[in-house]
């Protein structure tokens, strides 16, 4: 019989670990623990600091301490105020301590006489006895040696308790941790201060202190990110070897013709981005580039330049946006920029009449259209391009392998340019977009005035609304942004419907108000935005649905309610709506909950209008916990 490899041993079913068996294996499967390796990588969600463990008689008042003892009594009753009270009397063989919990009847089932427990909390000496109110309680097995080091706390499911899971983890570590094979050579590990893998596994589950737990966590994070980067590098290398794209070089003649079409000069930052993009397009390998630019930095113009390079070489281009509102707005911008050109362009969105859609698809397939602007409708079944050379994807668009396959024609793949107006911290860019080259536009076009931002107290409301009304009377427009569509019971948060009602009857009763939010249909939102652009509406009361792509240069006022409910990136995007023209914008944020972190975040928002700086501040404050989450991804 051949000896099992380390990998085969780690793939063994958990049910054969001593103390598990078939019944517990079924329970553990609900936690996605099925093999020995699953246990090793089932990390604690947090650690409980047990303070210093001491005999009951040696407790000190108001210090975080732990006691270990046996439950002697479990009793419940009501206080004079009618509150439920649970009392558990514990002894360590020498002295007694009473643990009290108020209004938590569910705890009664957890305790029984004769149990061993560890209680952690701050004790007071009352009525000749030590008392702990609301201590953290850990049930201990009869033979479990309590840890004075941080106690691992795991996610649980019905049928298994913390001490049982800790015991299983301990057995697996003792018997199997040394079968973990390190992917890094010894000298590499030492050079980068990384724990050996078996040691990291033992330490992350049962650390001697929190600093050791952090070192172990760093080892696993490092390995995970390293593997991700290698996978991206391999994917990119394969793409470079296998995929072919049309060569679309920029010549001096093409450059001169494009610049003649533009009604303004480009900024040095836009020129640098164009240089990088057109260098990629001139190669036979598909471009995969991220164009990162702050709000109002002129990304769309750079994208239009790239589109015109493709069209100059008799290739088609597609510009895709995440929503119909944004697709229509992009089309209006492009239409304006190309009004004196011969570029044949069309808007392709879901709401087109069948006959109109059929006509556009026929023109696209026949090569009678140079540019199509649209939503995901551009990659739906039945859409065929004659000779696609460039795809520009605006932010938030979920654009994967399947969509790319739909756009691939006759063995050639188009060039891809992805745009984002959510500045991503430099430290995250490689993780999120490791397979993309990055171009950055940090300068604003000349003539753009920065937005003035105010962090106001509730007492300053009358002053702000007086300023808001004065600007509206001068012909400006504005937004009032709130976190909810409808009122939520007892949440204290402002909603669109409540804010609209209050403003219509109060501070803004002399002006024309309308609402816009995510629950409206695309047609309803389009209709409101069209009226707002035509200045048939003075103020939009809305949710954050306006954070991306809404371009109304005359709207220079914004009030944001419950600002603590929005992320820094989201606040910055919202503020970008009032910096679209030459008139300086004004943005005032109100907050009802002044936690220290919220206050620091909002002060950072008030103090800088640089989206890249805010992204770095946000990253520093929140850490990399949402590397793969939607908020960081913009």
Write out pLDDT tens, residues 114-157.
999 999 888 998 888 899 988 888 888 877 777 677 888 898 88
Distance separating alpha carbons of residues 261 and 263, to the nearest angstrom? 6
| Mean pLDDT score, 87-104 | 91
The per-residue pLDDT for 435 is 65
What is the maximum span of the chain, computed from C-alpha positions, in angstroms?
Answer: 95
Whether the pLDDT of residue 53 is over 60: the answer is: yes
The per-residue pLDDT for 593 is 67
Domain count, the chain: 5
CATH number of residue 535's parent domain = 3.40.50.300
DSSP 192: T
Are 270 and 326 found together in one domain? yes
Give the CA distances from residue 469 to residues 481, 496, 551, in Å, rounded to whole numbers and listed in that order: 16, 19, 22
Are 312 and 165 found together in one domain? no
Distance separating alpha carbons of residues 340 and 333, to the nearest angstrom? 13
The domain in which residue 54 lies consists of 50-149
Question: To the nearest 10°, the Cα dihedral for 590, 595, 601, 602?
Answer: 20
Are 586 and 619 found together in one domain? yes
Rounded mean pLDDT of the chain? 84
At residue 439, φ and ψ (nearest 5 deg) are -115, 140
What is the CA 148 to chain-centroid distance, rounded? 36
Domain closes at, from 379, 412, 441: 441
Distance separating alpha carbons of residues 278 and 273, to the nearest angstrom? 9
Who has greater pLDDT, 202 or 333? Answer: 202
- Asked whether residue 247 is assigned to any structural domain, the reply reads no
Per-residue pLDDT of 322-357, as tens digits, reads: 777 778 888 988 998 898 889 999 998 877 888 988
Q: How confident is the model at residue 191 (pLDDT cuts 50, 70, 90)?
A: very high
Are 165 and 143 found together in one domain? no
C-beta neighbour count of 65 within 10 angstroms = 22
Residue 499 · residue 561 · CB < 8 Å:
yes
Are 209 and 301 found together in one domain? no
Are 176 and 200 found together in one domain? no
Q: Which of 406, 326, 317 is nearest to 364 (CA)?
A: 317
Who has greater pLDDT, 295 or 481? Answer: 481
Whether the pLDDT of residue 238 is over 50: the answer is: yes
Q: Which of 265, 297, 570 is nearest to 442 (CA)?
A: 297
Who has greater pLDDT, 447 or 465? Answer: 465
The per-residue pLDDT for 56 is 92
Whether the pLDDT of residue 102 is over 80: the answer is: yes
The per-residue pLDDT for 632 is 33
Residue 412 · residue 246 · CB < 8 Å:
yes
- What is the pairing mode between strands 388-393 and 151-153? unpaired
pTM score of the predicted model: 0.62
């Amino acid at each position: 019989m051949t000896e099992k490899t380390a990998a085969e041993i780690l793939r063994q079913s958990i049910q054969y670990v001593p103390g598990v068996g078939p019944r517990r294996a079924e329970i553990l499967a609900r936690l996605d623990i099925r093999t020995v390796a699953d246990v090793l990588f089932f990390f604690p969600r947090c650690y409980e600091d047990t303070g210093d463990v001491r005999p009951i008689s040696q407790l000190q008042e108001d210090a975080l301490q732990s006691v270990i003892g046996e439950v002697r009594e479990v009793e419940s009753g009501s206080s004079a105020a009618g509150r439920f009270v649970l009392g558990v009397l514990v002894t360590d063989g020498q002295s007694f301590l009473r643990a009290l919990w108020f209004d938590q009847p569910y705890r009664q089932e957890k305790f029984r006489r004769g149990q061993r427990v560890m209680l952690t909390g701050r004790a007071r000496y009352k009525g000749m006895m030590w008392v702990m109110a609301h201590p953290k309680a850990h049930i201990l097995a009869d033979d479990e040696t309590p840890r004075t080091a941080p106690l691992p706390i795991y996610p649980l499911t019905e049928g298994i308790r913390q001490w049982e899971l800790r015991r299983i983890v301990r057995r697996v570590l003792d018997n199997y941790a040394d079968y973990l094979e390190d992917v890094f050579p010894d000298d590499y590990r030492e050079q980068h201060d990384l724990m050996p893998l078996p040691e990291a596994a033992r330490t992350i589950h049962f650390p001697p202190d929190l600093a050791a737990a952090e070192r172990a966590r760093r080892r696993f994070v490092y390995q995970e990110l390293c593997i991700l980067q290698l996978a991206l590098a391999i994917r990119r290398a394969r793409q470079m070897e296998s995929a072919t794209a049309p060569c679309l070089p920029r010549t001096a003649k093409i450059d001169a013709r494009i610049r003649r079409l533009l009604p303004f000069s480009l900024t040095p930052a836009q020129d640098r981005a164009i240089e990088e993009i057109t260098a990629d397009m001139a190669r036979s390998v598909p471009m995969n580039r991220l164009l990162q630019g702050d709000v109002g930095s002129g990304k769309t113009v750079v994208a239009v330049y790239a589109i015109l390079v493709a069209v100059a070489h008799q290739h088609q281009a597609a510009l895709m946006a995440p929503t119909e509102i944004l697709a229509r707005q992009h089309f209006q911008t492009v239409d304006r920029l190309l009004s004196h050109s011969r570029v044949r362009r069309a808007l392709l969105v879901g709401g087109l009449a069948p006959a109109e859609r059929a006509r556009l698809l026929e023109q696209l397939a026949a090569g009678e259209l140079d540019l199509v602007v649209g939503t995901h409708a551009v990659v739906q079944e039945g859409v065929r391009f004659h000779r696609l050379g460039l795809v520009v994807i605006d932010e938030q668009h979920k654009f994967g392998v399947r969509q790319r396959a739909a756009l691939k024609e006759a063995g050639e793949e188009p060039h891809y340019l992805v745009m984002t107006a959510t500045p991503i911290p430099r430290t995250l860019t490689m993780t999120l977009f490791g397979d993309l080259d990055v171009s950055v536009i940090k300068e604003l076009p000349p003539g753009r005035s920065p937005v003035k931002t105010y962090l106001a107290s509730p007492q300053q409301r009358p002053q702000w609304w007086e300023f808001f009304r004065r600007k509206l009377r001068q012909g400006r427009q504005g937004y009032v942004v709130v976190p909810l569509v409808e009122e939520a019971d007892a949440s204290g948060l402002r909603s669109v419907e409540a804010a609209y009602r209050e403003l219509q009857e109060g501070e803004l009763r002399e002006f024309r108000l309308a609402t816009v939010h995510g629950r409206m249909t695309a047609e309803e939102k389009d209709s409101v935005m069209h009226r707002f652009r035509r200045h048939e509406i003075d103020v939009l009361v809305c949710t954050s649905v306006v954070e991306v792509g809404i371009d109304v240069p005359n709207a220079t006022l914004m009030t944001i309610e419950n600002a603590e409910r929005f992320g820094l990136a989201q606040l910055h995007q919202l503020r970008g709506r009032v910096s679209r023209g030459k008139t300086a914008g004004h943005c005032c944020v109100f907050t009802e909950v002044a936690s220290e972190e919220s206050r620091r975040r909002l002060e950072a928002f008030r103090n800088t209008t640089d989206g890249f700086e805010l992204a770095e501040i946000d990253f520093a404050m929140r850490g990399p916990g949402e590397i793969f989450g939607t908020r960081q991804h913009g």
